[in-house]
């Protein structure tokens, strides 16, 4: 018998976005938070840089908005940008009220600068801001009697009543795999919030944790939501190059504090690609590194901040210094090898200014969503800001509906009567490796029409094979994640093929110039058709 749980609000994902929403809602309703692993495994935990917010007297909201729009290659929704950056100071105060202590003294923050920013406006907690923020949010959630946390739960699919032939078009929960028992459970809820993060695990090399498999994007797509701008995958320029580093980032802030990118002979190369050199946005820096690696046949380049005082480097970047030392490198004493890696999904589930999706009662916040804030390239340290602002907006929107009439509908149980246990798990492992390899080779930092065509052919074969596998065998964690990654890869490839230009993070050698006006790529479930909308019309 399928085990059932009922709650007011079901939040899938326990990172900064999910926990912020939970804490904003908990005084008013019962909240259930599902975590794929533990609370410490989200991408928020890995965020080193900080939160972008205007707090300095010489800075301004307009300057922050201008930097965001410039980094987004004119594809940002300007209304969403200004809405988000204008709420940044409130978001910072909310974090401080929850116990987060940013570096500095009182209201005089120790601000740093990162690529694409015209001012020092990044609030941070040393070089482990995400960890510090998540620790306070986690403690708040654990202490709140209205919040129930479930670990080791992997969502399989959303429950869309209209797709099940039930009365009403709304999201009523999710089918979820309990990884501890191997059984599927039903979580029913009046409202569902997707806070599952991005999909960078679709690439062979990524800075993200293993859980970043695009689950929310894939589930929303299958449930009937539009997906936008999936071609814009941000590659972080400086991931530590070492077989044991396991995708460890050398923070953007290292370049913000004077770190230089060099070739093996010690020469700099960024100035010839952009006048901002190391402080150019990530898309430009990543492409420059990719170009030099291919030109010279290199496995990596170097980042060097040894010209700054050792004490400054060790105090400003203690986590990075410690990890580098463990692997035999001295960040304060000389160059450290780095390579680009898939880092952030700028596209995602189309949402409105409150995080609402195309399906009533379903919200998406954080990296899983496409709000219009990031456009064709995310400005550094705007991601945590987006999580905080839209978590509060979604919570406010849900609270406004709590007094409306509501009739609970019981979803069907999970039917396993026609499936058996698999004895061919090797198929999943092989397909997983193949997918991530051809996405890296064909749909990476630099693309061509031919590479994209090859990738589309490969992903369609995998999709057919995994669909057949999914239909005959009981679900497992690896099968669920592979199924989601294949759906996400298909969305990325199709979006990239539709964009016949180069803009922001999407660079195609066959279409090297941008085309005016800037337009969003929108994909519709169940339809061959696609739509391009002028920038800023994403939610029209």
* Residue from 178, 60, 32, 190 nearest 119 by CA: 60
Q: Are strands 183-194 and 3-12 parallel, antiparallel or unpaired?
A: parallel
Q: SS3 string of 500-538?
A: CCCECCECECCECCCCCCCEEEEECCCCCCEEEEECCCC
Active site residue 30: no
Cβ distance 409 to 38 under 8 Å? no
Give the N- to C-terminal CA distance of the chain in Å, as an integer: 44
Phi-psi region of 73 (alpha: psi -120 to 50; beta: other; left: phi over 0): left
Residue 525 makes CB contacts below 8 A (sequence gap 6+) with 221, 222, 223, 224, 225, 226
* Residue from 67, 65, 63 nearest 79 by CA: 65
Tokens 């259930």 -> residue: 32
Tokens 């050398």 -> residue: 250
Which position among 282, 316, 436, 458 bears the catalytic label?
A: 282
Long-range Cβ contact pairs of 106-114 (< 8 A, separation 24 or more): 107/55, 109/55, 109/56, 111/55, 111/56, 112/49, 112/50, 112/253, 112/256, 112/257, 113/256, 113/257, 113/279, 114/49, 114/52, 114/252, 114/253, 114/255, 114/256, 114/279, 114/380, 114/381
DSSP one-letter string for 489-500: HHHHHHHHHH--
Distances (CA, A) of 515 to 266, 336, 500, 519: 37, 38, 8, 9
Query: Both tokens of residue 471?
Result: 């239909």
CA–CA separation, 57 and 52 (whole Å)? 15
What burial class does residue 528 get, using C-beta atoms within 10 Å of its C-beta: 0-12 exposed, 13-18 middle, 19+ buried?
exposed
458: how many CB neighbours lie within 10 A of its CB? 18
Cβ distance 225 to 350 under 8 Å? yes
Q: Are strands 147-150 and 31-34 parallel, antiparallel or unpaired?
A: parallel
Distance of CA 54 to the CA centre of its chain: 23
Distances (CA, A) of 145 to 30, 31, 191: 9, 10, 19
Distances (CA, A) of 154 to 214, 352, 475: 12, 26, 11
CA–CA separation, 216 and 278 (whole Å)? 34
Cβ distance 281 to 269 under 8 Å? no
> 133 phi and psi, to 5 degrees?
-65, -45
* Residues with catalytic function: 282
């Amino acid at each position: 018998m399928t085990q059932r749980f009922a709650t007011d609000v079901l939040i899938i994902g326990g990172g900064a976005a999910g926990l912020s929403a939970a804490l904003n809602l908990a005084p008013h309703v019962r909240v259930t938070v599902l975590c794929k692993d533990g609370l410490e495994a989200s991408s928020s935990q890995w965020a080193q840089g900080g939160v972008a917010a205007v707090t300095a007297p010489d800075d301004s909201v307009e300057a922050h908005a201008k930097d965001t729009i410039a980094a987004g290659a004119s594809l940002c929704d300007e209304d969403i940008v200004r809405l988000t950056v204008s709420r940044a100071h409130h978001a910072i105060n909310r974090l401080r009220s929850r116990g987060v202590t940013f570096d500095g003294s009182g209201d005089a923050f120790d601000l740093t600068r990162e690529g694409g920013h015209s001012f020092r406006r990044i609030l941070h907690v040393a070089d482990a801001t995400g960890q510090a923020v998540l620790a306070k949010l986690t403690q708040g959630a654990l202490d709140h009697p209205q919040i129930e946390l479930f670990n080791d739960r992997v969502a399989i699919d959303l429950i869309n009543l209209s797709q099940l032939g039930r009365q009403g078009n709304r999201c009523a929960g999710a089918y979820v795999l309990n990884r501890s028992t191997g059984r599927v459970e039903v979580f029913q809820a009046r409202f569902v919030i997707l806070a599952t993060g991005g999909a960078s695990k679709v690439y062979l090399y990524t800075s993200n944790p293993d859980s970043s498999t695009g689950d929310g994007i894939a589930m929303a797509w299958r449930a009937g939501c539009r997906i936008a701008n999936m071609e814009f995958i941000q590659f972080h320029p400086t991931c530590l190059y070492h077989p044991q580093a396991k995708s460890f980032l050398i923070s953007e802030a290292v370049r913000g504090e004077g770190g230089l990118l060099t070739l093996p002979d010690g020469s700099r190369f960024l100035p010839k690609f952009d006048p901002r050199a190391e402080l150019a946005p990530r898309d430009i820096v990543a492409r420059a590194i990719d170009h030099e690696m291919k030109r010279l046949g290199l496995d990596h380049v170097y980042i060097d901040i040894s010209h700054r005082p050792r004490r400054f480097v060790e105090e400003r970047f203690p986590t990075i210094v410690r990890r580098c030392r463990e692997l035999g490198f001295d960040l304060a004493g000389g160059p450290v090898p780095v390579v680009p890696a898939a880092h952030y999904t700028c596209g995602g589930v189309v949402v409105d200014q409150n995080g609402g999706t195309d399906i009533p009662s379903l919200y998406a916040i954080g990296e899983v969503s496409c709000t219009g804030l990031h456009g064709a390239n995310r400005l550094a340290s705007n991601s945590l800001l987006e999580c905080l602002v839209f978590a509060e907006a979604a919570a406010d929107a849900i609270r406004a509906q709590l007094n409306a009439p509501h009739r609970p509908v019981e979803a069907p149980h999970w039917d396993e009567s026609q499936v058996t246990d698999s004895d061919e798990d090797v198929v999943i492992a092989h397909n997983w490796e193949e997918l991530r390899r051809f996405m890296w080779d064909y749909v990476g930092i630099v693309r061509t029409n031919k590479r994209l065509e090859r990738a589309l052919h490969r992903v369609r074969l995998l999709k057919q094979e995994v669909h057949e596998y999914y239909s005959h065998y009981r679900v497992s964690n690896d099968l669920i994640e592979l199924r989601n990654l294949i759906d996400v890869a298909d969305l990325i490839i199709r979006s990239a093929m539709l964009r016949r230009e180069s803009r922001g993070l999407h660079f195609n050698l066959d279409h090297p110039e941008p085309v005016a006006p800037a337009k969003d790529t929108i994909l519709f479930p169940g339809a061959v058709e696609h739509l391009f909308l002028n920038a800023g019309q994403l939610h029209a």
